[in-house]
A = this chain, B = another copy of it.
Amino acid sequence: RHGRVDLSHGGGGKAMAQLVEEMFGAAFDNPLLAQRNDQAVFDAPVGRLAVTTDSYVISPLFFPGGDIGSLAVHGTVNDLAMAGAVPLYLTAGFIIEEGFPLGDLGRIVASMAAAAREAGVSIITGDTKVVERGKGDGVFINTTGIGVTRPGVAPSGDRARPGDAVLVSGFVGDHGVAIMSTRENLSFETAIASDSAALHGLVAAMVEAVPDIHTLRDPTRGGVATTLNEIARQSGVGMVLDERAIPIREEVAAACELLGLDPLHVANEGKLIAICAAGDAVRLLDAMRGHPLGADAAVIGEVIDDDHRFVQLRTAFGGKRIVDWLAGEQLPRIC
């Protein structure tokens, strides 16, 4: 545990087998992973499956509120939760740079295992590759998630309808600002931690209250603005948001001001956007506020008929502006 990863740890031979046994196998231990075949085999759950994949390349690897290990669990669990699905299984693919400290790898793996345990998912199969120094950046992790959807629950990006209410589950922009605060070339400090969290418990409460949620999506890279534009495009609708209704922490607003960023373009890793029929909005909001991860939920706008599929913002000063997709590279390597 005091050494470093070398190329033999990815060579497919004895050193790799030992790393898989003693580090990954020990931390992720469960009966499916213990099969130690080229694949995990299990009975298909009854129903419709949701499958999602994400690679995590965040820099730095450890940040206020989490690390790449917990993020790689939360992010993928959340993409399953956005289908209204119950997350069941994860796969874990590691690409490690030669020279990476085994101690740091151990911390990441422990954090990943803890996040999976807390979310009730098992890491059932994995892969370990090592690339030469200078050909990677510490650790990249891919997680693919498999979950099972609930009967009668089918949120989708193309189901937003004029008149629907648009809700957000809490404060916007925390993750991106927390990551920026750790970057050495950015000269500000904040007490903001990433909001990184698994949202399937919140979603369970939400679909119990309102099974017919039209759309669920987590506003990660590109932020709330991009996510709403994606939905507007998929559904062929417009939206009007109320700026004063969007929960943004003072420190986040201040940091964004300093950096010339729009908090609506900043990434989140523990928030969701929900869209439902206007008549369901109060019930859904109550369900969200009744869950710790939705305590600061708010209705932030409504869906309208608009052939241009514009997302508009009614500003605090009574004006109106277009909220566009994220353009350019704003914040690389935030997830």
Q: State the A residues within 8 Å of B (CB).
A: 6-8, 10-17, 35-57, 59, 78-80, 82-83, 85, 89, 91-95, 124-127, 129-132, 134-137, 140, 142, 144-149, 154, 156-157, 217-218, 220-223, 226, 230, 234, 265, 267, 325-333
Contact = CB atoms under 8 A, between A and B. Distances in A.
B38 A330 contact: no
Given A10-B332, A79-B39, A222-B12, A91 B44 contact: no
Contact of A142 (B55, B221, B333): B55
A223 B326 CA distance: 47
A41 B149 contact: yes
Nearest to A231: B37
Contact of A129 (B57, B94, B223): B57
Contacts of A8: 327-329
The complex is assembled from copies of this chain, and their number is 2
Given A38-B218, A47-B44, A83-B41, A53 B92 contact: yes
Contacts of A132: 332-333
A100 to B, nearest CB: 13
For A15, A55, A134, A218, the residue with the greatest tally of chain B CB atoms inside 10 Å of its CB is: A55
B142 A93 contact: yes
B38 A52 contact: yes
B57 A48 contact: no
A136 to B, nearest CB: 6
20 contacts: A6-B329, A8-B327, A11-B328, A11-B330, A11-B332, A37-B82, A38-B82, A39-B82, A40-B52, A41-B49, A41-B149, A42-B48, A43-B48, A52-B125, A54-B93, A57-B129, A57-B131, A132-B332, A132-B333, A140-B140
